[in-house]
Amino acid sequence: MMKVGLFIPFSGQASRVEQEIKNGLRIGIASDGQDKVDFMVQYYHTTVQGDFNVALERLESTPGVSLILAVQEGNREPGILENLQNCHCPVVVINIATSGNPWNHMVPHILVNSLDLSSSQFVLANFVRDLFGQQSCVSLSKMDNPACLLESDKETGPVIKRLMDYCHDVSDMIQVLEVSTKSLFSASTWFCELENEANLEFVERFQRCFATIPSPYALLAYEIGLLLRNPSHKGHSPSPNGILPALQRVNVTGPRGAINLRTGSPRSSVVYVSKVGTKHENIGSKREIVFKEEYSVACSG
């Protein structure tokens, strides 16, 4: 059983954050949510000088810890990278910020999963831009009345016709247009891909296993768990030596599309690996969105 260290800043929400990360990681590693991982939790005080380093050393010295998930609340912890880079095991920083790259540079064994990486707004904006054949795309999160786009005029008529090919009905299209940065799911959720196992697993199985709605912390931990899930040995997590290579893979099946923990910011060169199911044909087909260079890495193993 893999032992994971949780490194969490102390606050009134610390216990809730801890539980969300545990639940998300568990269902990511094993779809049934059963324990395939053991946890060691260490809190640290952001207001106490030197407590970060002392608490980190205490966690790292715990026997059997082979991976550390470190929660970062914004950029309030000075020197966090300098301290983490001395860790002897892989570290994934969970950054709940919705924008901005928390690092100026990356260290090989330190990875970041943030709501900003391959976020739903970014993926959807690129999809719509490519679908419409336009150079730029309107900010969907700032639309006051998405229903107004249903009007068939010379500007929106062709756009609506093409977009409707990717939706079942008008209500689906309105849902697409209402997606904003607060959404946790990629465009695949809104394009009627009901057979997308990753989306179903994250929402339905999470609620079934834990009787609660997943939070952003659970989502980020779940995506990490997907990378750690061993497809060759179902139900088994990677060995300690296999954890870092597993985290460096590209996740092309997660709820938000392509998640590459090695990158610090999203890129604009999006390629669509498989067809999007339409209301006319191949409605059950799956779509995976992945960056071109990451797709090559994924194909090579």
Q: pLDDT per residue over 148-202, tens digit each?
A: 444 444 444 554 554 455 444 555 444 444 443 333 334 444 333 334 455 566 7
Q: pLDDT per residue over 26-73, tens digit each?
A: 988 887 767 678 999 999 887 787 888 899 999 999 999 999 999 986
Supply the mean pLDDT for the chain: 66
User: Which stretches within the chain are classed as H helix?
Assistant: 14-29, 51-60, 80-84, 120-132, 157-164, 170-177, 187-190, 197-200, 206-210, 216-228, 243-247, 292-299
- Residue-level pLDDT at 241: 86
| Cα–Cα dist 148/276, whole Å | 25
Q: Give counts: helices (H), strands (E), the chain.
A: 12, 9
| Cα–Cα dist 195/61, whole Å | 43
270 found inside a domain: no
Q: pLDDT per residue over 92-107, tens digit each?
A: 988 876 555 555 456 7
Tokens of 283: 């409605």
Mean pLDDT on 258-264: 66
182 found inside a domain: no
179 found inside a domain: no
Query: Band of the pLDDT at 210, cuts 50, 70, 90?
Result: confident
DSSP 13-29: THHHHHHHHHHHHHHHH
Separation of CA 37 from chain center = 20
What angle is formed at CA 170 by the lines to CA 169 and CA 176, rounded to 5 degrees? 100
Poorest-confidence range of 112-116, 182-186, 230-234?
182-186
| Cα–Cα dist 37/17, whole Å | 17
**CB 57 within 8 Å of CB 254:** no
- Residue-level pLDDT at 141: 38
Query: Band of the pLDDT at 232, cuts 50, 70, 90?
Result: low
**CB 31 within 8 Å of CB 253:** no
- Residue-level pLDDT at 50: 80
159 found inside a domain: no
Q: Can you give the residue range of the structural domain that contains 27?
A: 1-116+194-264
245 found inside a domain: yes
13 found inside a domain: yes
**CB 281 within 8 Å of CB 190:** no
Counting the structural domains of the chain, the total is: 1
| Residue 109: closest CA among 66, 78, 142, 150 | 66
Tokens of 195: 């057979």
- Residue-level pLDDT at 288: 42
CATH number at residue 198: 3.40.50.2300
- Report the interhelical angle of 120-132 vs 157-164 (nearest 10°): 120
Partnered with residue 254 across adjacent β-strands are 257
249 found inside a domain: yes
Backbone angles phi, psi at 59, to 5 degrees: -70, -45
Query: Band of the pLDDT at 238, cuts 50, 70, 90?
Result: confident
What SS3 class is residue 55? helix
| Cα–Cα dist 285/9, whole Å | 42
- Residue-level pLDDT at 240: 82
| Cα–Cα dist 234/31, whole Å | 10
**Tokens 């970041």 found at:** 112
- Residue-level pLDDT at 122: 44
Amino acid (1-letter code) at residue 183: S
